[in-house]
Chain A
Amino acid sequence: MNAILLVAAMTARQLLGQRRTIVVVLLNAVPVLVAVIVRTVETDQSAAQLVASPVLEWTTLFMLPLTALLLATAALGGEIEDGTAVYLLSKPIPRWRILAGKLLAAWGATAAIVLAGAALAGAVVLAGEGGWNVLGGYLVALLAGSFAYGALFLMLSLLTSRALLAGVAYVFIWESVITNFAPGVQRASIREYTLGIADLASGAPASVIDADLGGVLSLILMAVVSAIAVAIAARRLARFELSGEA
């Protein structure tokens, strides 16, 4: 097995054994609960509209970034904190491969949990109805968003020991508040890219998914942001130093 897959497999086992994984699984059960409630309430909205908002919009706004934050910061930041990162970093492997393994594991775990919750919630709302293309579009977008958030938060965990706090600030202050009041800032928000991609991939009418950015632009910006985050993280890991203790 090559080094990337070895690191990814070990990290996945590590992530799945942590308490925070239980937290993210419970977090991603919330949209399913919302879907059950939505299904039982009388409304004029179509199933496609309901699955887009509130059910999967909530997943995009909160479940996706928080799941990625909890898992991606644990994937490498946790190991740096407890000292076990040394066992990986003292091997004759280019550091970018270790980073790739970590990102693969964080992405895979985030996508698996978020997509499972989203698919189940979507299926509850759409069962016996139309609008499955909206669910399909969201699943594609959530898969892409898992990668971008994973890369961003992995980078944060290499830049600061307070990555969790920095990530929470990004999700709840930058993406939730600042992007609503400062025009143009949406172009620097993974949340907006995810909604844009969902809109593009679903092929749904414009009123169904509330996206401020075009799908293609969202795809390009998400790729650029992810590439920058990975490049910064790889550079940082290549020059990694143990914190000072005499």
Chain B
Amino acid sequence: MSANGAAPAVEVRDVSRWYGDVVAVNGVSFALEPGVTSLLGPNGAGKSTLLHLMAGFLRPSAGEVRVLGEPAFGSPDVYRRIGLVPEREAVYPFLTGRDFVLLSARLHGLPDPGAAADRALREVEMTDAAERATGGYSKGMKQRVKIAAGLVHEPDVLLLDEPFNGADPRQRLQMTEMLRRMADEGRTVLFSSHILEEVERLGENVLVVVAGRLAASGDYRAIRQLMTDRPHSFTIRSSDDRALARALVVEESVTGVDLADGALRVRATELAAFTTLAPRAAQSAGATLFELRPDDESLESVFQYLVRR
């Protein structure tokens, strides 16, 4: 249950899914609340299987998947509140973009499907190309028209499988803004992506799946803080790197110091403690700090750490 007592938007409880002898997802549990969450993992980690389980297109071999309190599998009514954007590029090539989104609006039984389709197409900036057959669309255009079809009924939960595939940088930016806006409106947005830049831009909440298991979930910066077995790495530039290195190496929380390529690289056990320690050490060494940059606080570093474990 969430803080207000309502069921989580998406609840995955002890879920496993296997195909014959192959275990694709193994004992995964998490709950999603409104906001943007990214689903990350290397190829074959089980991301698509998890998304398909949440979208009601796979039955769990064990455990339970509920969306807005309803079982995800075998409940077509749940699609009134779920929007799904599949990874596969195929759309109906003989339909125009508008007809494709209109079909989705009509199948949802919306009272004014035409207006809903036009609004969704505006949302993804596809109004100008809406009257062209989707068969002639670029990969990025197909992606956007698929998103328009997925959000035409203004769902509470939007599940997107690799939505940034094929989109150019401007389209990616526009898409991230749109997804963030949807999250700000109180919707639950979950998307899988390989493009960590976009993931980082969209928000902090991640689910990291490795070899079918949930390796980590939550704010990736908090996840990084919990990786006590991985010292934090910093690059420092100062007026006297050598003196500063001497001052730092004696500190208990500093586990390594390297002087190379005109910069000082330091490994420390605690991020917060080091940010106060470094200026103090510089002062005692008589050096002026020009730059203090954490090297491995990015999502990519966190992801790499989790995947290599």
Contacts and interface: CB of A to CB of B under 8 A. Distances in A.
Contacts of B43: 246
Interface string B161-190: 000000000000000000000000000000
A95 B58 contact: no
Nearest to B99: A10
Contacts of B55: 90
A53 interface: no
Contact of A91 (B19, B48, B58, B107): B107
Contacts of B149: 87
Given A82-B88, A92-B77, A93-B76, A246 B24 contact: yes
Q: Which of B46, B52, B59, B149 has the most CB of A within 10 A?
A: B52
Interface residues of B, number: 39
Contacts of A239: 59, 74
Contact of B90 (A13, A84, A90): A84
A84 B135 CA distance: 13
A242 interface: yes
Given A90-B79, A92-B76, A83 B103 contact: no
B119 interface: no
Contact of B106 (A6, A83, A240, A244): A6
A95 B46 CA distance: 27
Interface string B29-65: 0000000000000011111110010011111000000
A246 B57 contact: no
Contacts of B76: 91-95
Contacts of A94: 76
A206 interface: no
Contacts of A89: 57
A36 interface: no
B80 interface: yes
Interface residues of A, number: 29
Contacts of A95: 76
Given A13-B94, A91-B76, A246 B44 contact: yes
Contacts of B109: 3, 92
B104 interface: yes
B74 A238 contact: yes
A241 interface: yes
A205 interface: no
B247 interface: no
Interface string B74-94: 101111101010101011101
B246 interface: no
Contacts of A242: 52, 57-58
Interface string A86-128: 1111111111000000000000000000000000000000000
A17 to B, nearest CB: 5
B81 to A, nearest CB: 9
A35 B109 CA distance: 49
A120 to B, nearest CB: 27
B221 interface: no
Interface string A63-101: 000000000000000000011101111111111000000
B74 A92 contact: no
A241 B19 CA distance: 12
B80 A92 contact: yes
19 contacts: A6-B107, A7-B107, A10-B92, A10-B95, A14-B94, A83-B86, A83-B88, A86-B88, A88-B107, A90-B57, A90-B79, A90-B84, A92-B79, A238-B74, A240-B57, A241-B59, A246-B43, A246-B46, A246-B49
Given A7-B107, A92-B109, 16 more contacts: A10-B103, A13-B95, A14-B92, A82-B90, A84-B91, A88-B107, A90-B57, A92-B79, A92-B108, A95-B76, A241-B52, A241-B57, A242-B52, A242-B58, A244-B19, A244-B22
Can you list the 4 inter-chain pairs with the closest CB atoms, starting with the nearest? A83-B88, A91-B107, A244-B19, A242-B57
Interface of A: 1, 3, 6-7, 10, 13-14, 17, 82-84, 86-95, 238-242, 244-246
